[in-house]
Amino acid sequence: MTGRNHFTYTAYCASVFLWIRKGRHLIVAVVNQKGGCGKTTIALGLAGVWTAEGAKVLLIDADPQGTASDWAAVAAGAGVPPPFGVVKLTRPTLHKEVADLAAAHDHVVIDGAPRNYELARSAIAAADMVAIPVQPSGADFWASRETVELVKASRAFKETQKAVFVISRRIGRTVLGRGIADALAEFGLPILAAGTTQRVAYAEAMTAGKLVSGAAAAEMRTILEELRGLVA
């Protein structure tokens, strides 16, 4: 981020945090500037396991591609609407609107936008916790750099904000999976021990408008537990 861009973003962050409501709500933004990293899968999974615990959850689809909204439409069309609310909000004023949206819910999960600087930084500014999904690939690693810069600029004004990497679509205990964790260490953000593995169940659930179950749901519960431990 250049000096001029950093100054602009710094001023932006300073102006937005008056809008963020503190209290019982936990707002988690799942964000990466690279598409196809498992972002929507993790956002839906977190909303699903939180809801299964009895929480009232809202998922904000901040991605113009609208995958989470499409998933919700498929679910509703099959006669089994999602057990949590899904709202599409693809404006860079999300950070200003999230407090009102969160007021009627226990927790909010934001499915952030890839390849969109303004929407990504608004989602990050709105969040108490930022989860950055990264697949074990060089492309994901390189794309994470810009997301990390946005997070660090945000945290300069929101010291309580947490941010972590979540390794997604890991293939067993491969060298590639270990390698991405080693590479990400240079960014100075924690890497969750929990993550997702390459499972057909995730793609099937997305296509059918369903939530994952079995081993895939267990992965999501483990991710959520580790996230909660970081903000406790």
Q: Between vectors from CA 146 to CA 140 and to CA 148, what angle results, nearest 5°? A: 90
Cβ atoms within 10 Å, residue 213: 11
Any domain includes 4: no
Higher pLDDT, 117 or 217: 217
Confidence bin at 178 (pLDDT 50/70/90): low
Higher pLDDT, 129 or 18: 129
Strand order in the sheet with 162-167: 85-88, 57-61, 107-111, 26-30, 129-134, 162-167
Cβ atoms of 111 and 62 within 8 Å: the answer is yes
Burial class of residue 158 in the structure, from the number of CB atoms within 10 Å of its CB (0-12 exposed, 13-18 middle, 19+ buried):
middle
State residue 124's pLDDT score: 95
Q: By C-alpha distance, which of 131, 154, 162, 140 is closest to 43?
A: 131
State residue 185's pLDDT score: 78
State residue 84's pLDDT score: 98
Which region among 7-16, 77-86, 108-117, 219-228 has the lowest average model confidence (pLDDT)?
7-16
Q: Based on the structure, what is the number of domains in the chain?
A: 1
Any domain includes 10: no
Calculate the average pLDDT of the chain.
Answer: 86
Whether the pLDDT of residue 192 is over 50: the answer is yes
Q: Residue 50: which H helix or E strand, with range?
A: helix 39-52
Domain at 134, CATH number: 3.40.50.300
Cβ atoms within 10 Å, residue 14: 11
Neighbouring residues of 225: CB distance < 8 A, sequence distance ≥ 6: 194
207-218 average pLDDT score = 97
Any domain includes 206: yes
Strand partners, 85: 58
Any domain includes 8: no
Confidence bin at 173 (pLDDT 50/70/90): low
Q: Which domain holds residue 192?
A: 27-231
Higher pLDDT, 21 or 131: 131
Cβ atoms of 148 and 187 within 8 Å: the answer is yes
**pLDDT, tens digit, 9 for 90 and up, residues 38-53:** 999 999 999 999 999 9
Whether the pLDDT of residue 81 is over 80: the answer is yes
State residue 35's pLDDT score: 79
Any domain includes 22: no
Whether the pLDDT of residue 194 is over 70: the answer is yes
126-137 average pLDDT score = 91
Dihedral sign for Cα atoms in the order 65, 69, 75, 79 = negative
**pLDDT, tens digit, 9 for 90 and up, residues 139-158:** 777 878 889 999 988 877 78
Kindly state the percentage of the chain with pLDDT values over 70: 86
Q: How far apart are CA 96 and CA 94, in angstroms?
A: 5
Any domain includes 13: no
Any domain includes 194: yes
Q: What is the DSSP string of 172-226?
A: TT-HHHHHHHHHHGGG---B-S---B--HHHHHHHHHT----HHHHHHHHHHHHH
* 17 DSSP assignment: G
Any domain includes 95: yes
